Amino acid sequence: NSVWVSTDHDEIEKVAKQFGAQVHRRSPEVSQDSSTSLEAIREFLNHHHEVDIVGNIQATSPCLHPSDLIKVADLIQKEGFDSVFSVVRRHQFRWSEVKKGENKMTEPQNLNPAKRYRRQDWPGELYENGSFYFAKRHLVEKGYLQGGKMAYYEMRAEHSVDIDIDIDWPIAEQRVLSFGYFGKEPLKEVKLLVCSIDGCLTNGRIYVTEDQKEMVSYDYRDIVGIDLLKKRGIQVRLVSERDCSKTLSAMQLGCIAKVSATNKLQVLEDWQKDMGLSWKEVAYLGNEESDVDCLKKAGMSGVPADACVVAQKAAGYICKSNGGCGAVREFAEHIFLLLEKVNSARKQ
């Protein structure tokens, strides 16, 4: 019914509100290094008597998909479970620990060494992965996140990532890039990318010479990204609110462009209709408030890392690169990952 971020940090509160969440300010008593999630949740419930069910989503599990949460909520709301928690299936053989100095042999815990399974022939075991814990209010008030009529929810391995130590971070990033959430509707192949010129293809800066001539800079990686998109059969078109015809001519990109565009959404809709595409087949890369409507309309949307806050909020993907510094190439690679996902789904 509502999404809350529990924090005692001003910057986290600011970001949470920018992205539409409500904020519960934690007290110092439950904001210690030794504080547990359960303590923070119980404090939250003390201030929100209207809440009957809590879904505790761990921030350290970034690969969690919305579809999983919907199914888990149904287990509690429609099937009568009191608590549901996430698990993942692992194929790991366990042995008893022998402490240093003990004159003992280790013993197998979940296998017979004489009849050792091949991993692919063994169903494995279920382990908690810490992605989420859902529980009814009466359990939390008693001090439990698990209890009553319990159920587990098995997550797919590629979505099960727990950032616990430094090495987990790059693994999580690669999982998000490879298996990230692309929307609730069936995936479709992107056939058109529309890119805002100023602040995406360029860094948004305009240099003026002494003889009043304008110059802009761009990153060659972005030009390579556009060429790669074309080779994959994806049309690339450009749009700008200012008249940058001479700049585009000098760059020799060979892309259809609309300059002096007072309404970018109208331009996008005209191109979409002319090409006979669904919105799921259109991608858009923008960075300003004037791009927000286009970002919301396109089936796949992205912004450079230095895009304005409202554009970031409307986008489905935020690049690590700034505008004019490789953002177009990065977004192109994100599109390629989607194409691989579409092709894989077709084969299945």
Q: Among all residues, which ones are annotated catalytic? A: 116
Alpha helical stretches, state H, the chain: 10-18, 37-47, 66-77, 137-141, 168-179, 220-231, 245-251, 264-274, 292-297, 309-314, 327-347
Non-local (6+) Cβ contacts of 274 within 8 A are none
Q: Report the C-alpha gap between 298 and 25 in whole angstroms.
A: 35
C-alpha distances in angstroms, 37 versus 43, 243, 293, 301? 10, 54, 38, 34
Residue 235 structure tokens: 């049309």
Is the Cβ–Cβ distance between 85 and 153 less than 8 Å? yes
Phi, psi of 319 (to 5 degrees): -70, 155
Is the Cβ–Cβ distance between 292 and 285 less than 8 Å? no
- List, as one string, the DSSP characters of 107-149: -BSS--GGGPPPGGGS--EEEEEEEEEEEEHHHHHTT-SS-SS
Q: Report the C-alpha gap between 144 and 265 in whole angstroms.
A: 50
- List, as one string, the DSSP characters of 300-339: EEEE-TT--HHHHHH-SEE-SSPTTTTHHHHHHHHHHHHH
Q: Report the C-alpha gap between 245 and 236 in whole angstroms.
A: 16
